[in-house]
Structure 1
Amino acid sequence: AMAKEKEKQALAKKRKAEKIQFERKQRQKEARREAKQAARRKRHEERDLARMRVRRSMLRHGSSEEEIEAELGPVVESEEEPESEEEVTPRSRRDHTEITPR
């Protein structure tokens, strides 16, 4: 009877530890996902700001809307952004290069 009780306790302890570990893992996943979204938002904001700066400077120098569109090109929504849960390693982002105004 004693051994049975001990076994039960050990099992409960193990289950609790597994549950805690699982919850910790879930929280880490969630945090990673949120960090990724924040990074994407920041990247998009920076891209949009860069485009606005270029547009403003070109307008100031008398360029037409067509010339500006040709210079800026379409807004690149980068398709290469991973949606996976694996750790994202930053790679060269040629489609997000900052355009600095002169």
Structure 2
Amino acid sequence: MAKHEPDLSLLFHALADPTRRAILTRLASGPAPVTELARPTGLRLPTVMRHLSVLEEAGLIATAKDGRVRTCAVVPEALAPMRSWLDEQRALWEARLDRLDDYVMTLMKERET
């Protein structure tokens, strides 16, 4: 079994939830205070804070506190390990499918003769 980076597991776990993905989508347009991020979810603030802690633990967001206001910002470079893993998987499966295609074409040519 292949070794997986623990950071990769944290990233996939963080992105597995639609609420966290929605928060990241919002943060892609710029930093926002926690209250603004909580508003469209319909969730209570402690629940949103748990979602934010999962995102922060995965390194997908950074938070800063100024007085009583906690602001969150996306950390786009945190997706790099996931992007690399997905690129490796795509290359692997494309190579497998190419070999399968070659094999099927060879079988079809053999049947024709």
TM-score normalised to structure 2 length: 0.32
More strand by share: 2
TM-score normalised to structure 1 length: 0.35
Which has the bigger relative contact order, CA under 8 A and spacing at least 6?
A: 1
